[in-house]
Amino acid sequence: MRTVAKIVVALVWIVTTPWSSAESGEAFLTPWGHPDLQGVWDYRTITPLEKPTELGERNSFTQSEAEQFTETNPDRQAEAFRPLLAVGGEPWADVGTKLSEGARASLLYDPPSGRLPSKTDFGKQHAARTMERFVGAPDNPEDRPEQERCIIYPRIPLESGQYNNNIQIFQTPDHVVLLMEMFHDARIVPLDGRPNLPIKGWLGQSRGYYEGDTLVVETSGFRPVANFVGYSAQRTVVERFTRLDETTLLYDYSVDDPGAFTASWSARQTLSDRNEKIYEYACHEGNYSMVNMLRGARIQEAEQLGSSGP
């Protein structure tokens, strides 16, 4: 409890004290000398994780290809998500509008092919089961994925989605807090070198340290969760946050998941200063979707029984 109280007091001091890195006399440094990464950062991008297969051996778009890719992205995203939910022109949608870091055709840089390593049998089956849980008719609430049950949204590492693509970073001398807009999840990352506990959690367990001007966050100890990538509970994610300038962070991450992939892989993108606040994501308030999905599944079953006879 003492540790939690110290963190809360430090966060209140950070939020309520008007200062900036430039005013402190050290560019992009906190008052205690750590790289200053604080702020609300936007990780929206239309750059895909994997390179489109039609590019063949090329890892970058031409200028005309980049323009066409940008123009058609809303239609492609709507088509990709149509099996899951109705998306497109909804006022709550907050999709990416531009490619990350110029004309790169994928966020992946390792493997150099820009394509994910082969999945294990488990990885393939887990991704398929996730899709089935999203589109299948549920017998019970537990049949729906954790996202729809307002338990967790597995964005570790950060993955640009349909909305809520923001993360807020708080820092104290001995902790970093990574507050996700999606589901309002907060990872409190100690910097004192403590070992992980022998438990598993929805967000795993994160431990951090600095390498020069870069914050390194290592996260492992995940519980199994529905995801389209096919991650297993064996994954370890190493994230690197580096301040490039006043409005830009470099976000570089590596995933080692022998349960889901035959090799590790790495990706990077830039995050931009959102210059806005993050508001609470109240998933359960007015959420009638679970009741309606269960009711709809029972109606479908009744109709099928009626058409097939006794």
For the chain, what is the HEC assignment?
Answer: CHHHHHHHHHHHHHHHCCCCCCCCCCCCECCCCCECCCEEEECCCCCCCCCCHHHCCCCECCHHHHHHHHHHHHHHHHHHHCCCCCCCCCCCCCCCCCCCCCCECCCEEECCCCCCCCECHHHHHHHHHHHHHHHCCCCCHHHCCCCCCCCCCCCCCCCCCCCCCEEEEEECCCEEEEEECHHHCEEEEECCCCCCCCCCECCCEEEEEEECCEEEEEEECECCCCCCCCCCCCCEEEEEEEEEECCEEEEEEEEECCCCECCCEEEEEEEEECCCCCCCCCCCCCCCHHHHHHHHHHHHHHHHHHHHCC
pLDDT-derived band of residue 74, with 50, 70 and 90 as boundaries? low
Reply yes or no on whether the pLDDT at 145 is more than 90.
no
Residue 24 domain-assigned (yes or no): no
Mean pLDDT lowest for which of 93-102, 198-207, 217-226, 243-252? 93-102
Please tell me the predicted confidence (pLDDT) of residue 37: 98
100 part of a folded domain = yes
For residue 81, what pLDDT band results from cuts at 50, 70 and 90?
A: low
pTM to 2 decimals?
0.83
15-59 pLDDT, tens digit per residue, is 333 333 344 334 799 999 999 999 999 999 989 999 998 899 899
Residue 83: domain span = 2-15+30-296
Return the percentage of the chain with pLDDT > 90, whole number: 48
Domain count, the chain: 1
In a domain, 23, yes or no: no
Give CA–CA dist 146/155, Å, rounded: 12
pLDDT at 9 over 60: no
Is 9 part of any domain? Answer: yes
pLDDT tens, residue by residue, 212-257 = 999 999 999 999 888 888 899 999 999 999 999 999 999 999 999 9
Examine residue 68 and state whether it is found in any structural domain, yes or no. Answer: yes
Q: Is residue 66 part of a domain?
A: yes
pLDDT band at residue 136, thresholds of 50, 70 and 90?
confident
For the chain, percent of residues with pLDDT exceeding 70: 84
Distance CA 310, CA 305 (A): 7
CA distance 240 to 250: 8
Tell me, yes or no, whether 76 lies in a domain. Answer: yes
Structure token digits, residue 128: 């398929």
Residue 304 lies in a domain: no
95 vs 85: CA distance, rounded Å: 15
